[in-house]
Chains A and B, each alone.
Chain A
Amino acid sequence: MSVLALDKVKLTYDKQAVVEDISLSLENGEIACLLGPSGCGKTTLLRAIAGFKSLAGGSVSSSGQMLSSLNNTVAPEKRNIGMVFQDFALFPHLSVGDNICFGIRRKSRTERRQRLQELLVLIGLVGNDNKYPHELSGGQQQRVALARAIAPKPQLLLLDEPFSSMDVELRSSLAKEVRRILKHEKVTAVMVTHDQHEAFSMADRIAVLSEGRLLQWADAETLYHSPINAFVAHFVGRSNFLEGVVHGDLVETAVGKFCYKKQLNAFSEGQNVRVLIRPEYIQISSSSISQAKLVSREFLGGYYMYSLGLKNGEAVQALLPSLANYQLGESIGITLLADKVSIFDNA
């Protein structure tokens, strides 16, 4: 049975719908991510799952137990759902140890001590249990907040933009660290973020939200390579679109004919479509008849991001190793690496 199931969830602020018609379910031990631009309603949805916000429609249930519906909201403290807050919300008057043990105060003393030690090892802060939150660095506070939330072994853990106050370098290492901890504790978790890199490194499944609606609910690879629409394609990575025409099972573009992925809506013969080209799809091939001119480039370390100009005036980006040094202005032959491309309505 699903650890978390949302069914047609609707949320409002001052009678204005901010989240509508969201349905998804999460299996035991999975880490899910709500990804979307700011203001898309993801944090509101998370607070509804935690029980801080009542629903305006639909339902939230967990392992078959109804948590929220239109008329009934189980109080947050009765849900067995843990939460890590954006600003961590550590209690400044309690030590690190007392903060972590806050949710397991009803357990026996030995159990508490044992769990505390276990968690301190897990978060790499052994010996810091008598310190106070203000004595810790931002990353350490973050891990204490995580330990506090998972100490009672909640059936579900919610994380609200957990890395937003961190430096960029720190973010990716912490994301890995947090994923390791969650997987070790076999916690089912839902995280909110607006950063697709964070979502990719943390989550098993990702829900892309926009303007309060769920656009796609899939794993990271599917989102990246088979986005459901142009918005999702844009949001999860660099994307270029070439014009194409559908001929049977193939789509014809300026760089050749390719198989395309079947979508829900069928494409008719001769229809004009947009074809998604990720920069790393493009390969150099001296034998190719499709020629492109190197217009400009951006140095990214191991790679250059080249802007290519096609003969018909279209432009596309290509990610090529920086060791192979091509000259700007040069024309090169290119092919596509992908066996199948994603195509969208030419809206």
Chain B
Amino acid sequence: MASIFGIRAWWVIAIAVVMALPILVVLGFVLQPFNENWQHLLDNLLPEYITNSLLLMLGVSVGVLSMGVICAWLTSSCEFPGRALLSWTLLLPLAIPAYIVAYTYTGLLDFSGPVQGQMRVWFDWGYGDYWFPEVRSLTGAICMLSLVLYPYVYMMSRAAFLEQSVSVLEASRTLGYSPFSGFYSVALPLARPAIITGLSLALMETLADYGTVQYFGISTFTTGIFKAWYGLDDSVTSAQLASLLLTFVAVLILLERYSRREAKFHNLSSRDVNSQRFQLRGRKAFLATLACSLPVIFGFIIPASQLLYWTITTADHTFDSGFLILASNSLMLATLSAFVAVCLALILSYSKRLLATPTVKSAVSVASMGYAIPGTVIAIGVLLPLGWVDDALDQWLISTFGISSGLLLSGTLFALIFAYTVRFLSVSIQAVDAGLSKIKPSMDDAARSLGLTPFAVLKTIHFPLMRGTVITALLLVFVDVLKELPATLILRPFNFNTLAVRAYEMASDERLADAGAPALTIVLVGIIPVILLSRSIANSAIKSPEGVKMRPFSSKLQKKAVAP
């Protein structure tokens, strides 16, 4: 089969090597001698970077775990007013990048913002008469990141709670546990691997964040890398800093891998479809509704409303031809990158299915490592080797033909699209893998035995079944590219702006209201995949994107239905 499709193992290995290149380049700098900038860093800044990054991770862990796990358990195991609506709206904060939430809350809570202004009017205070928490602080950053990253934990732990066999929970009831003590002693330990997976994803995003910490003036690894790159113009030090950041990431990857492996042993049996949720009443029901509403209100409704308000107040001068260029730049970049990433994902996933050798499998997992690597690190890893190639090419052209090629690769969209592909390839691979797993190998065989050639199998079976999957994969990468800030900042060609970059620039210039329109556009597009995601979570039956239901064929219920 594999040989008929023409797929060869070396394609996969070649793709994996190219995708791993930026990471390898960055890690390679550890071998370079440390210069005086590094010594300065070590003496003055590095302790602060490490402390701040660790504090940020600690705070975000507390935030995402408390919000994510509590809401997941309430919406999956209890019944209270608004449960159905909240169980998917809880995912909405995922649509807003952390830096945009940071801009909105700064606008709201700053000295000149509406909240403090109103308080001064009500209580007749002046500057310095009262204490108000400072948004632009480490605590503020923890809150902002927690508000948009808790959906990772929520999503993972909710799926785990739904999968848990009711009988296990009922067994704990018969052994004298109340539903709530059963939660601590049975449900929570069973869901632990999933919760840790969600947490490690949230922490990877925390480490990757640049927009929020930069805006709040907190020194972390990502801001340090930017400073070394632009402030000191020292690529060696910034790459060395990046590889130190990668060791933090590596710990998270190991944590995630470990918890995923553990999860296999924890999946006991499938949950009965008609299982009863625990009915909450009165005060408890009110508290549950409140607990699940707060993350949605603070993580989505308030920031989105603020963005809408800014967009409306600045509409007359933001929606000009400049905005159109911004939007079309973003659209083009995101479309191209999504196309490249999904094409590669299709090649990799099909090779994995058809060749299924250990080499191919590990090559595919190397190629999908990028999801854990901060955009800043990838950008540096892309820019350095491309810069060398450009320089070498330029030298050669000047010496032989006397013409200069300029920056052919590193200064163009090529670099950007390459970086996005490295970062988001795993998103598309996961989506394609999920779709492909619904096409059982026996379907291929069945079609062959009914007289179809391998190519015809691809056309009549795979294409119609995979169409929805491919569209989903394209969309997911598209939105991620739209949101990505640090890699775009480093790699964009001169005078080339995107929506995310414009929002960043306006916010940096203290023109928060003008950041509203581009930010709102990003959020609105970002909602689409969140809705897709929530739909697939809401229906526990596996549904293909076109709405064709594909339940496992031999489910217990169906067998019972035929029995006389």
Contact = CB atoms under 8 A, between A and B. Distances in A.
Q: How large is the interface on A (under 10, 10 to 19, 20 to 34, 35 or more residues)?
A: 35 or more
Nearest to B551: A134
A137 interface: yes
Interface stretch (B201-209, B240-248, B553-561): B553-561
Contacts of A87: 440, 442, 553-554
B325 interface: no
21 contacts: A77-B453, A78-B451, A83-B445, A85-B442, A85-B445, A88-B442, A91-B443, A92-B465, A93-B546, A102-B447, A103-B450, A103-B451, A134-B548, A138-B553, A138-B558, A138-B562, A140-B562, A149-B449, A149-B450, A167-B559, A170-B559
Q: Which 6 pairs, one residue from A and one from B, show the smallest C-beta to C-beta distance?
A: A103-B450, A89-B442, A165-B554, A137-B562, A89-B446, A76-B448
Contacts, number: 102
Most buried by A among B450, B452, B549: B450
A91 B449 contact: no
B564 interface: yes
A93 B449 contact: no
B153 to A, nearest CB: 32
Contacts of B442: 85-89
Given A85-B446, A89-B443, A138-B554, A170 B451 contact: no
Interface in B518-564: 544, 546, 548-551, 553-555, 558-559, 561-564
Interface in B154-208: none
Nearest to B449: A83
Contacts of A50: 445, 449
B461 interface: yes
B120 interface: no
Q: How large is the interface on B (under 10, 10 to 19, 20 to 34, 35 or more residues)?
A: 20 to 34
B465 A77 contact: no
A68 to B, nearest CB: 14
Interface string B95-116: 0000000000000000000000
Contacts of B451: 77-78, 103, 152
B353 interface: no
A134 B549 contact: yes
B82 interface: no
A81 B449 contact: yes
A82 interface: yes
Contacts of B464: 93
Contacts of A133: 553
B271 interface: no
A148 interface: yes
B438 interface: yes
Contact of B450 (A51, A138, A140, A148): A148
A138 B559 contact: yes
A82 B450 contact: yes
A102 B447 CA distance: 8
A170 B563 contact: yes
A87 B450 CA distance: 16
Contacts of B450: 77, 82, 102-103, 148-149, 152
Nearest to A139: B562
Interface in B442-498: 442-443, 445-453, 461, 464-465
Nearest to A83: B449
A173 B465 CA distance: 34
Contacts of A90: 443, 553
B452 A77 contact: yes
B161 to A, nearest CB: 25
B61 to A, nearest CB: 41
Contacts of A137: 558-559, 561-562
Contact of A75 (B448, B549, B554, B558): B448
Interface string A154-168: 000010000001110
Contacts of A193: none
A210 B445 CA distance: 26
A103 B551 CA distance: 24
A89 B440 contact: yes
Interface string A21-58: 00000000000000000000000000000111000000
Given A91-B443, A138-B559, 15 more contacts: A51-B448, A77-B450, A83-B446, A85-B442, A85-B445, A86-B442, A91-B446, A91-B447, A93-B546, A132-B549, A134-B550, A137-B559, A148-B450, A169-B563, A169-B564
A79 B448 CA distance: 10
Interface in B301-352: none
Most buried by B among A91, A140, A158, A169: A91
Contacts of A91: 443, 446-447, 461
Contacts of B440: 87, 89
A170 B449 contact: no
